[in-house]
Amino acid sequence: MRLLVTGGCGFIGANFLYAMRQRHPDWLLVNLDKLTYAGNPGSLRALENEAGDRYVFAHGDICDRKCVTAILNDHKINAVVNFAAESHVDRSIDDPSPFVVTNVLGAQNILDCARRAKVGRVVHVSTDEVYGSLGPTGQFHESTPLAPNSPYSASKAGADLLARACHETYGQDIVVTRCSNNYGPFQFPEKLIPLMYAKATKGESLPVYGDGQNVRDWIFVDDHCRGVELALLKGRAGAVYNFGGASEMKNIDVVRTILRLTGQDENLIRFVADRPGHDKRYAMNFDLAAKELGFAPSVSFAQGMERTIAWYQANSVWLDEVQSGAYLTFMDRWYKERT
């Protein structure tokens, strides 16, 4: 396999590249990443050192037709996994524009270039947030109508519909995956779990939105990566697959777990103004992925959190390095406005 992975310097992309290198050492892995504030080439240093000519990094934008086409042709790519995106809901509330550019136009460019270059398969990585919000019961199925509530999820839903249209119109080989909340190594500390870890270890207050009762279905990142790999290797062209962790947790309980694992006091918890349009609950039904792909999450929330906290403890330099520049500018303003 000669695989193009986009957004490989981000959280899930980096974990995916390491997993593919380990399980398929003969594959060529090409990583196209724009290196936005969320892209960190340092996350892939070990892969770069170890993989030799089986790993190539290309600095570029998925919106750039010339760049994407050249990569597909020069490396004779036969499959693409598109992770590249603007991924943080709060930033999309602050400014939706870059989300529409990368998540809609960039995704469309990837689909278009792949079709013209006759690439075999595109796996488009999407999210459970395209379904909107659940009440206290029920689950999202692949047939649940799309009802995105944030600019981020609307942009992801737009790309999902383009992927569907390309399959229907051109017969293009595209598989869409929708996963619930990931956590694990290399996650950028603007997202709940690494943010709360970073704040707890500095003894800073932990900003919980609203009443902390919102529920997310947490999945350890390795399990998501396995799902994407299965979709790439075994997915049905034109299919959509849900992945979830079967691990529903209230935000406040996630925060308490982090405080317990870091030995910090619950007095650090501070309830702040809610996220506008905050989805109440996500829960994924992944029966289809279980049946057609053999997908099942293998890491419990307790195991995954222990591994995650241990990783952040052992990688404090990585964490310090990413908490600078553009990161601080947004975070300072965002949280000042909420407290």
Q: Which does 289 bind (CB under 5 to 8 A by kind): ligand DAU, ligand NAD, none?
A: none
Among residues 176, 128, 135, 174, the alpha carbon closest in space to that of 153 is found at 128
Q: How far is CA 219 from the centre of its chain?
A: 11
Task: Tell me: does residue 62 bind ligand NAD (CB under 6 A).
Answer: yes
The phi-psi region of residue 30 (left if phi > 0; otherwise alpha if psi is between -120 and 50; otherwise beta) is: beta
**Cβ–Cβ under 8 Å, residues 244 and 286:** yes
Give yes or no: 128 in active site. yes
- Tell me how far, at minimum, the Cβ of 99 lies from ligand DAU, in Å: 11
The correct pick among 31, 92, 150, 181 for binding ligand NAD (CB under 6 A) is 181
Q: Which does 264 bind (CB under 5 to 8 A by kind): ligand DAU, ligand NAD, none?
A: none
Q: Which does 83 bind (CB under 5 to 8 A by kind): ligand NAD, ligand DAU, none?
A: ligand NAD
Q: How far apart are the first and last CA of the chain?
A: 50
- Binding-residue pattern over the window 114 to 143 for ligand NAD, x denoting contact by CB under 6 A: -----------x-x----------------
Q: 83: exposed, middle or buried (C-beta count within 10 Å: 0-12, 13-18, 19+)? A: buried
Whose Cβ is closer to ligand DAU: residue 214's or residue 264's? 214
Binding-site size for ligand DAU (CB under 6 A) equals 19
And the tokens for 246?
A: 């079967």
Give yes or no: 129 in active site. yes
What phi, psi does 178 have (nearest 5°)? -125, 120
**Cβ–Cβ under 8 Å, residues 269 and 196:** no
Q: Which residues are catalytic?
A: 128-129, 152
- Judged by the rule CB under 6 A, the positions of this chain that interact with ligand NAD are 6-7, 9-13, 32-36, 38-39, 61-63, 83-87, 102, 106, 125, 127, 156, 179, 181-182, 188
